[in-house]
Amino acid sequence: MFKDKTIVLGVTGSIAAYKAAEITSKLVQAGAGVEVVLTDSAQKFITPLSFRSLTNRQPVTSMWEPASDVNVKHVSLANAADAILIAPATANIIAKLAGGFADDMLSCTVLATRAPVIVAPAMNCNMWDNPVTQQNIKTLQDRGFILVGPETGYLACGTEGRGRLAPVDQILAIVGSVLNKKKDLAGKTFVVTTGGTREPLDPVRFIGNRSSGKMGYAMAAAARDRGAMVKLISTVELPETAGMEVTRVQTAAEMLASVKNAVKGADALIMAAAVADFRPSAVANEKIKKTSAALDLKLEPTTDILAEIRGKFVRIGFAAETSELIDNAERKLDAKNLDIIVANDVTAPGCGFGSDTNKVTLIFRDGHMEDLPLMSKREVADAILDKTMPLLAPRRSGEVSPPRSQ
């Protein structure tokens, strides 16, 4: 989503300015061209050399630097930007932007641009809570500026409160969402599950699996970035969940209850979670101590979430298999009444648990299949959403898909 995009990164005078280097590094690694604008105050916290080393471009530090070309610098930056990100944004720059001031390179560039502007505040909690700052924030939001954070936590001044810069991954997720102009899922609601459930054996141990949650998160992030309202139900802590409604669960029973509630009015349910098929029939109240005797563990089946959930929404499931990939996936598609099942062999190179890539076969209700090449999980997610689009309109109008061709 960042490849070949130009991001103007404004850095202002906050102790959190050091995190701007990480933001820059991640944007560059993702293929973006980053133009850094440092205010005078920012240069007291971090040097231009840091950003020149990360971007191979000379940061802009003053309105009065000799121009390297005939362009007016703040205008050329404003025109070149696909997005402007100010991180960290102090109370001072927020006040300037709200008042329309243009007395330094950053404020001039923002005033001259038609690109979206994302603001990530960082300041003392009392400064954030001050009515003047709150009014300035409201003014910016009313004008279309996009706010990320701040978070509540320990601050450099030694106090705790709201004013901490939002996590870097969360900031980047919002920038990515803004850059993604493909909003074909706007107005749609997607419920996505991810991660492996944990079925307790005692207060310490559980029965689980190796699912990292990466594929499910990629599905959720892709749907969000394409404009959908996303309800993510997850067993794992994942970064970059800004813009999603997130519910944390642990067990299959908790996931079932959350899915039942979330699918009301949904357009699609994407069950990417690795839900345990069995759980201990009895959970010990205290930790089971190790002895020389064998432990007989009695298991009982968990409820099949997809078989249990009903509704007029698109149903997409996943089949992570180690053998007989297509046969097993087709049986699962039929048993769970799915529209699409995403089948992958977790023993194949680049397709195992925790990997950042995947190679899948899409099997559809009408019987046809499509093999996708090995690619990133985000690319897989977008491919799945492309195939989901034609199914959305008829389903919400009340049509029921015919049985799968045999």
Tokens of residue 200, six digits: 């307790």
pLDDT tens profile 280-289? 988 989 998 8
Binding-site positions = 277, 287, 318, 332, 336
State the fold for domain 6-179.
Rossmann fold (3.40.50)
Q: What is the pLDDT of residue 330?
A: 92
Q: What is the pLDDT of residue 74?
A: 63
CATH 3.40.50.10300 fits 189-396, yes or no: yes
52, 59 Cβ separation under 8 angstroms: yes
Q: What is the pLDDT of residue 240?
A: 63
Q: What is the pLDDT of residue 98?
A: 92
- Residue 189 backbone zone (phi > 0: left; psi -120 to 50: alpha; other: beta): beta
Binding-site positions for CTP = 277, 287, 318, 332, 336
What element of type H or E holds 383?
Answer: helix 377-396
Q: What is the pLDDT of residue 270?
A: 96
Q: Which residues of 263-302 are buried (b: 16+ CB within 10 A; e: fewer)?
A: beebbbbbbbbbbbeebbeeeeeeeeeeeeeeeeeeeeeb
pLDDT tens profile 217-251? 989 988 988 889 999 999 988 766 777 889 999 99
What is the domain partition of the chain in residue ranges?
6-179, 189-396
Q: How many angstroms separate the CA atoms of 245 and 231, rounded? A: 5
Residues of the chain with pLDDT under 50: 70, 397-400, 403, 405-406
Partners of residue 299 on adjacent β-strands:
280
pLDDT tens profile 296-338? 889 999 988 988 888 889 999 998 888 888 999 999 999 899 9
300, 335 Cβ separation under 8 angstroms: no
19, 89 Cβ separation under 8 angstroms: no
Q: What is the pLDDT of residue 357?
A: 85
Q: What is the pLDDT of residue 400?
A: 47
For the question of residue 157 being annotated catalytic, the response is: yes
Is the fold of 6-179 the same as that of 189-396? yes
Which among 162, 171, 116, 161 is positioned nearest to 140, based on CA atoms?
Answer: 116
Catalytic residue among 108, 125, 157, 351: 157
pLDDT tens profile 125-149? 888 989 999 999 888 888 888 888 8
Q: How many angstroms separate the CA atoms of 345 and 348, rounded? A: 6
The three-class DSSP label of residue 68 is coil
What element of type H or E holds 331?
Answer: helix 325-335
